[in-house]
Amino acid sequence: MKKGLIVYLINSDILPKSFDPDEALSHLSLNSDHSVLAASAEGFYDIPDAWHLMLTRGMQYISCVKGRFNEAGKIELYGEPLRLYG
C-alpha cells in the first residue's frame, strides 16, 4: 500500500529567503512513499489540492500533519498525523 503525507506549514508567512520545499522534505524523516508541503502562502498547494495530487499519484493511504519552522529555519513536525483517506 502506497502512503502519502501532506505536511501543512502553519507559519508559512515566515519562509526563509532561500526555501526549497523538496529539500526541506528530504531532511525530514517521514514514513511515506510521497510527501507534499501545503500552506496558506502563495505558491503552495492547499490541503484539498495536495490530497488530489496524492490520489492521482496512486497513494492508497493519505495523512496530514502540521509542521512549523524552528529557530534554525528547519521544518519540525508536531501533533499526530490525521488520516484523510485509506
Domain borders along the chain are: 3-85
**What does the alpha-carbon distance between residue 73 and residue 44 come to, in Å, rounded to a whole number?**
18
pLDDT value at position 58? 95
% of the chain at pLDDT higher than 70 = 99
Q: Which residue has the cell 500500500?
A: 1
Q: 28-46: per-residue pLDDT in tens?
A: 888 899 999 998 887 889 9
Strands (E), 1-86: 3-9, 34-39, 61-69, 75-85
**Grid cell locating 25:** 522534505
State the pTM of this model. Answer: 0.88
64 band by pLDDT with thresholds 50, 70 and 90: very high
- Three-state DSSP class for 16? coil
